[in-house]
Structure 1
């Protein structure tokens, strides 16, 4: 089987694709893969570190305001379709899977026109413009959230979840928290705002740090590398004085840390949601207001409606509210258990298997 995977721009498009490739390789070592990304996306940093053959196309997104750049965008899109068709004819895939981003638009559209079986994977509860456009041409639309089905042709949609969940579902409890100078046997609250951090969340956490020091639970806080030094410099106390708090610029083994945590606080991106629901971890989500179609709020609300998470809007977030919401959950074992059960219920840990089944169905 030959599979061409395409998606780019952000980790939310790339990591599900890589998780799917990893799973298929475990099931069919003879399967061949090619990944096609954009020339300027994050995929250019991630894919070269893998053993997956990688090619790029020159493409860019539309500006929301009227701009001459949009003329260039159309020209690049038309050109990239021709380039994509050339790549497709050379590789001759049995199926093409698009996971989002403008580059997947050109590749999946080109594949559909060449009568190659096609699937798009939508990670969020509100789809992006690329997948909505492609849904008219593809054979199937694979969903991570059931709420997204309303935006696509009903006969094409299949709920599969996010393949990243399959990667983390079997992560076991370990002593990894000791690597961050914390007690592996103590209830732990994990706070992070993504790889780059989140300014509003960081301000609230810094304000709350002295109060966290007085709690029965411990806190592991990943600030993001660009905020770490600034935080250290502006604190009125030394981080070393806080025995039950660990502040880190970045957490490398995030899935393992999640598996050893009691509560997660962070943004509402599709990848982290797939991870913590696969583990059955309760969460407090602060959706980023700076994403397309406010999809993180929709992601978080979908989980909040089922009792899996508490949601705090970015504009309402303060240190006081953050501490109060954490305490509400950490001091009520029954509430935390019910949230954990709801989180597990909303997770789809066999997502990669489901997507693989869909691939075999369309080929």
Structure 2
């Protein structure tokens, strides 16, 4: 039997984007609720957003000097071997000093060195793979990891089949109750209850092409009597904030209360990162996916297509925005039936117990390490 009062030591590693950070925080929160005396340490990459977001969630983090390899040759790639050696050395020191009972990796280049060292020392490890097409870090780590929690079918192409557990992706707990927040959302965002609300999301840092699209279609959107909540991202806020001077379009650098934003939305325009897709399944609203083409193995397009294949969303490739956006948007906005059907179908794909199921697997590893 596992001792819930024991002071387990748990390391979670991953980062670079919110899609790797928020799952790690959700897993840590669930572990903390089960093991109140546990000690947690996050390991991320220096100068990336996890160095701010993790402490805001109440956890300690150490940063490694590590970046990914650029797909095209750049001078940055020349420093990669030195960064990797530095990160492996620092990871050894972290493991030696902290003495974890289990290590959890949520993807991104920051998790590579830490999990490599942990698995080489026989420390129980779990990988949480969010995407339908894994990144290189998790593919390399899979051979030595004890368990691999995934959100899509068909990943035995990349991982040992006997290690795979399909759990879905961890999402924020408050998204499970957004229906109760709709009135609060109208007040919070000062919205007109008689107008449809379009929520535009490009990820935590922003999406250049989606921002360009909303700028170009600014007048078109207003002529369709909608209101827009536009998260343009930290990198683009300085340029696009001027478009928030009208009553019906508001521009945000970042939205902290995403549950309220989702509750307010009638239609969502979004990138197709794995965590965004998982959240949108739970939210159950009609979605237009505009996947980023600038990701490894075009995994965002694969994530989105998996939803579209279930008749649960609309996809528009970046190259097709000029031709398709207005037509597809009009077809959706004028059809309450289509909106309802897409919302109903995407909701069926939600895996609401993902975090608990992943932590169940972590518990089995802790139990194993006790023996």
Q: 1:184 to 1:257 in 2, by over 3 A?
A: farther
Q: 1:165 to 1:226 in 2, by over 3 A?
A: closer
Match of 1:326 in 2: 329
Q: What TM-score does the superposition give when structure 1 sets the normalisation length?
A: 0.89
How many residues in Structure 1 have an aligned counterpart in Structure 2?
Answer: 357
Confirm or deny that 1:198 pairs with 2:207: yes
CA–CA separation in structure 2 for the residues paired with 1:292 and 1:96: 25
Confirm or deny that 1:341 pairs with 2:344: yes
- Match of residue 129, structure 1, among 136, 151, 155: 136
Q: 1:48 to 1:250 in 2, by over 3 A?
A: closer
CA–CA separation in structure 2 for the residues paired with 1:166 and 1:86: 34
- Match of residue 104, structure 1, among 104, 111, 119: 111
Confirm or deny that 1:93 pairs with 2:113: no
Match of 1:43 in 2: 50
CA–CA separation in structure 1 for the residues paired with 2:14 and 2:46: 12
Q: Does structure 2 conserve the Cα–Cα contact (< 8 Å) formed by 1:287 and 1:313?
A: yes
Confirm or deny that 1:62 pairs with 2:69: yes
Q: 1:22 to 1:316 in 2, by over 3 A?
A: same
- Match of residue 275, structure 2, among 234, 259, 271: 271
Q: 1:68 to 1:282 in 2, by over 3 A?
A: closer
- Match of residue 212, structure 1, among 221, 224, 233: 221
Confirm or deny that 1:7 pairs with 2:14: yes
CA–CA separation in structure 2 for the residues paired with 1:255 and 1:278: 11
- Match of residue 88, structure 2, among 66, 69, 81: 81
Match of 1:154 in 2: 161
CA–CA separation in structure 1 for the residues paired with 2:91 and 2:238: 43
Deviates more, 1:204-213 or 1:219-228: 219-228
- Match of residue 260, structure 2, among 238, 256, 261: 256
Shift of 1:330: 2.7
Shift of 1:106: 1.0
RMSD after superposition: 2.4
Shift of 1:322: 2.5
Shift of 1:216: 4.6
Shift of 1:92: 2.0
Deviates more, 1:127-136 or 1:217-226: 217-226
Match of 1:306 in 2: 310
Deviates more, 1:23-32 or 1:284-293: 23-32
Q: Does structure 2 conserve the Cα–Cα contact (< 8 Å) formed by 1:200 and 1:317?
A: no
Q: 1:137 to 1:167 in 2, by over 3 A?
A: farther
Q: 1:256 to 1:26 in 2, by over 3 A?
A: farther
Q: Does structure 2 conserve the Cα–Cα contact (< 8 Å) formed by 1:124 and 1:148?
A: no
Match of 1:182 in 2: 191
Q: Which runs of 5+ in 1 are unaligned?
A: none
Match of 2:369 in 1: none
Q: Does structure 2 conserve the Cα–Cα contact (< 8 Å) formed by 1:165 and 1:351?
A: no
Q: Does structure 2 conserve the Cα–Cα contact (< 8 Å) formed by 1:20 and 1:164?
A: no
Match of 1:353 in 2: 356
Deviates more, 1:326-335 or 1:337-346: 326-335
Deviates more, 1:150-159 or 1:69-78: 69-78
Question: 1:164-208, CA deviations, whole angstroms, 9 ceiling, x for partnerless residues?
Answer: 254522233233233333124643221122233323222322232
Q: What TM-score does the superposition give when structure 2 sets the normalisation length?
A: 0.88
Q: 1:316 to 1:183 in 2, by over 3 A?
A: same
Secondary structure of residue in 2 paired with 1:21 = helix
Secondary structure of residue in 2 paired with 1:146 = coil
Question: 1:189-234, CA deviations, whole angstroms, 9 ceiling, x for partnerless residues?
Answer: 211222333232223222322232232543322233444453466x
Q: Which runs of 5+ in 2 are unaligned?
A: 1-7, 367-371
Kindly report structure 1 stretches of 4+ aligned residues shifted beyond 4 Å: 65-72
CA–CA separation in structure 2 for the residues paired with 1:106 and 1:2: 19
Secondary structure of residue in 1 paired with 2:255 = coil
